[in-house]
Amino acid sequence: MSATPVNARLEIRDSPLHGRGVFARAAIAAGTRLLEYTGERIRKAEALRRCQAGNVYLIGLDDVWDIDGAVGENPARFINHSCAPNCEALIEEEVTLQLGKAAPRQPRELNCQGMSSASHIFIDAVRDLAAGAELTFNYGYDLVNYHEHACRCGAADCVGYMVAEEFFPKLRRKLAAVAKQAVRPARKSARTAVKLVPR
């Protein structure tokens, strides 16, 4: 499929990671704001219903609200996950003062709590991107049902699943323990097989 321009700096095209992806059309400096993750603001119960129906474009804002990025035009929904991302998703909220004047937007990490209804999710570059580079960010999933979200990012430190970086050490220990358990029965079976071979 051919490339679809998003703006002068970005385009959507087939990705070696998964499906379609967002790519830099020109060099982009670290710290550049690239896109807003837009969509319909929905409550958690509705998000759960849509997730169970197969919607994979939901991003949590807080304990009450999510954004469904599959609704409307949202090129940011095509940004793939990576364990070594070159972008980050930041939540910014407009803080309204008692006098009714809006204060400047304050950036927050994606998993922050207590967002107001004026919250926005932006994608920013965290390092310089060359023309042709695919944009990626860490989806920040927790360890619940991690096995349902295999990662194909190919990064040197890829943990094999789409989880937040804070969970990498715990997941590596868990996967090492599972692998160790899988090896033990194989060794025992091999010894048993040797004993059963007639001489």
> 33-64 pLDDT, tens per residue?
999 999 999 999 999 999 999 888 999 888 88
The predicted structure's pLDDT at residue 93: 78
Looking up tokens 């619940």, which residue turns up? 144
Contact 122, 59 (CB under 8 A): no
CATH number at residue 98: 2.170.270.10
- Nearest Cα to 121, choosing from 143, 146, 140? 140
Domain that holds residue 120: 4-38+73-144
For residue 60, is it within any domain?
A: no
Contact 11, 135 (CB under 8 A): no
SS3 letters across the chain: CCCEECCCCEEEEECCCCCEEEEECCCECCCCEEEEECCEEEEHHHHHHHHHCCCCCEEECCCCEEEECCCCCCHHHHCEECCCCCEEEEEEECCECCCCCECCCEEEECCCCCCCCCCEEEEEECCCECCCCECEECCCCCCCCHHHCECCCCCCCCCCECCCHHHHHHHHHHHHHHHHHHHHHHHHHHHHHHHHCCC
Query: What pLDDT digit, counting tens, does each position of 179-192 carry?
Result: 888 776 555 544 54
How many other C-beta atoms are found inside a 10 Å radius of the C-beta of residue 198? 3
For residue 161, is it within any domain?
A: no
The predicted structure's pLDDT at residue 117: 53
Contact 86, 125 (CB under 8 A): yes
For residue 198, is it within any domain?
A: no
Structural Rg of the chain based on CA atoms: 21
For residue 52, is it within any domain?
A: no
Looking up tokens 């991690």, which residue turns up? 146
The predicted structure's pLDDT at residue 98: 46
For residue 195, is it within any domain?
A: no
**Whole-prediction pTM value?**
0.78
The predicted structure's pLDDT at residue 104: 53
For residue 171, is it within any domain?
A: no
For residue 109, is it within any domain?
A: yes
The predicted structure's pLDDT at residue 105: 53
Q: What is the pLDDT along the chain (199 residues), one digit of tens a residue?
A: 688 889 999 999 999 999 999 999 999 999 999 999 999 999 999 999 999 998 889 998 888 889 999 987 899 999 999 999 999 999 987 655 444 455 555 554 444 333 345 688 999 999 999 999 999 999 999 898 899 999 999 999 999 999 999 999 999 999 999 988 877 655 554 454 444 444 4
For residue 134, is it within any domain?
A: yes
CA dist., res. 176 & res. 181, Å (int): 9
Q: How far is residue 86 from each of residues 24, 28, 69, 176, measured CA to CA in Å?
A: 11, 11, 20, 27
Structure tokens at 198: 């007639």
Number of domains in the chain: 1
